[in-house]
Each structure stands twice: as C-alpha cells, then as structure tokens.
Structure 1
Amino acid sequence: MSKREIYEQKTEAILMPIVEEHGFELVDVEYVKEGGTWYLRAYIDKPGGINVDDCEVVSRRLSDILDEKDYIEEAYILEVSSPGLGRPLKKEKDFKRSLGEEVDVRTYRMIEKQKEFTGLLKDYDDATVTIEMEDGTLKTFEKSDIALIRLAFDF
C-alpha cells in the first residue's frame, strides 16, 4: 500500500465518526499533489447538499485530530468540501446510487476514436461499467480503462 493510500485510509477512519455524528456522508478522501503542493481533501454530502458551515464543522474537528495524530509527513493543505455537481463515482455505493443517471466517462486510451462518452449508467460490477448511449446502444467499459466517471451536468 502506498503512502498516499495509507494517509487516505487513516483519514477516512478518523472522519467516519465525525460525519456520521452530523448525519453527513463521507463521499471520498484524497491526498494529491498539485503544482508542488500536497492537498488532503475530504468530500462530504447530505440530503439537500452541504453548506459552508457543515464543511467548517468537519474541518475543525478533523484538523484538531490530524494535529494530534501527526501521521502525515509532508506539509499539506486540508480542504473539506461538497463533491460538487460533477460528483465522481469511485465506490460501489456511488455506482449503486447513480444507476439510471446520466454519467460522463473519460478513458485513458482512445476507444472507437474517442476518449469521452456520455450516457445513462445501466450496469456495473467489479470489472466493468455499462452505459446506454444516446442512440440506445449499450457500451461496456473495463474499469481499468476509465480515467474518470462522474455524474453528468449541464449549465
């Protein structure tokens, strides 16, 4: 297991009781480096959506515990936020909740001369994701080919 995965796993374990206490859902935790800076991000949600006060409550509690446990070696910025409109699908519960919803799929490699697809999430398992394209055809992707899958949104 990589250091990044260990940090994410430990942070998720700390966060679970905090978010459950407030009736929130922990959507995801990620530890990523962007532009030379490390970020520890926690995405939370609740029915009706998350607001700034919700994020602040979780952030303060998490920050205090992270300072106490001090298991992350590098300097980092802590962010707690909503998963946003284009919510990524990562865990089984995300796929289950999103069945029948429109999703955007971005692949690592070209498939039929394209890397981006949009359709209704029809099925998934441990290895594949199937979406129904606009023309009614079904397209199945290997999860190992998917760079990103998220709920689609229009403005």
Structure 2
Amino acid sequence: MRKDPYNLTELLSPSIEAMGYKLWGIEFHPNTKNAILRLYIDKEDGIGIEDCEIVSNQVAGLLDVHDPITMAYTLEVSSPGLDRYFFYPEQFAAYKDQLIAFQLRSAINNRRRFQGKVIDVTDTELSISMKLENDQFSEEPILVPLSNIDRAQLVIDF
C-alpha cells in the first residue's frame, strides 16, 4: 500500500487530530518541476473546503518549521472521498463486506487487478471474497499479503 516516504504521519497526525480531524493518508508524488504532497483528512460529519483550508494552514506551518522535504512541492489537502483509497490495514476493517478494487505489486495468475469484498484483515493479510466473472463472489476467502497490495480503493455502487 502507499507509503509515507518522509514519515510525515508522525509529524502531522497529532496536530491534525488536535483540530478534530483524522489523517486518513498521505501521498507524495515527486517531480523535479512540480512535486505534490497530498493529505487526506476525514471526520465524522464529512469534510468541506473550509476544513481543508484550516488543516492546510496548520500543516504548512509545521512543514515550514520542520522542513522534512527538501525539494519544492505543492501542498494539497483533500477529503478521501466516497471511493477512498486505503493506506493502513485498520482502514479495511471499517469496510467489511464492502467491495474494494485493488492492484497487486506482483501478479497472481497473470493478473494484478482484482475486486472483492473485505472479509477480514490482520496486520499482514487481507481476507477477500473475490468477485467472479458472473458478478458472484467466491465462497472461499483468498488471503492477500498486504505487502503485495500496491493500491486499494473502495468501490461505490450506486
């Protein structure tokens, strides 16, 4: 799953939580011309643009003082959205029996992209009922090592 290359979670999470928000995840996209540091925040009643602005101002100050990223970057603060990406194993637990799409680092049976329902999660494995071609789900759960998951995202079905 996505990694926090500068260990910013440790630096930023206490301040963000003190403001009443949860740090859902961090992405960093390095680029020599326009790197992007994207923070996803969440709270019980949802996130609005004002929430993003408040957190952005606080985080910008912390990053200026501690200066963990030496290259130029743009800071973005966002809601994780309905089709949120997962960053940590415990995030899967809140979405049991929900459909997720995930991409593996190493292919299984010549495939890297799958969909399935979350059955259970441990610190090392995700138990999934895989979506089959006929829109049914496998009866036997499949254990996927979390270390092999490159990206995982909630699938919204309206």
Shorter-chain TM band = 0.7 to 0.9
Higher relative contact order (CA 8 A, sep 6+): 2
Paired amino acid for 1:101: Q
Q: Name the % identity.
A: 32
The structural deviation recorded for 1:78 is 0.6
1:30 matched to which residue of 2? 27
Q: How many residues align?
A: 149
1:135 matched to which residue of 2? 137
Structure 1 moving runs of 4+ over 3 Å: none
The structural deviation recorded for 1:42 is 1.1
Tell me, yes or no, if the aligned pair for 1:14 and 1:62 is still in contact at 8 Å. Answer: no
> Cα RMSD between the aligned structures?
2.2
In the alignment, structure 2 segments of 5+ residues that lack a partner are 131-135
Tell me, yes or no, if the aligned pair for 1:122 and 1:131 is still in contact at 8 Å. Answer: yes
TM-score by length of 1: 0.82
Following the alignment from structure 1 to structure 2, what is the Cα–Cα distance between the partners of residues 121 and 113? 22
Paired amino acid for 1:136: S
TM-score by length of 2: 0.80
1:110 matched to which residue of 2? 107
2:133 matched to which residue of 1? none
* Partner deviation per Cα, 1:29-84 (whole Å, 9 max, x = no partner): 23222585221221100113111000000001111222223232111111111112
In structure 2, which of residues 90, 94, 99 is the aligned counterpart of residue 97 of structure 1? 94
In structure 2, which of residues 51, 56, 79 is the aligned counterpart of residue 59 of structure 1? 56
In structure 1, which of residues 38, 45, 50 is the aligned counterpart of residue 47 of structure 2? 50
The structural deviation recorded for 1:105 is 1.8
2:123 matched to which residue of 1? 126
Tell me, yes or no, if the aligned pair for 1:120 and 1:132 is still in contact at 8 Å. Answer: yes
The change in CA–CA distance for 1:36 and 1:47 in structure 2 (over 3 A counts) is same
The structure whose residues are more often helix, as a share, is 1
The change in CA–CA distance for 1:112 and 1:25 in structure 2 (over 3 A counts) is same
Tell me, yes or no, if the aligned pair for 1:85 and 1:153 is still in contact at 8 Å. Answer: yes
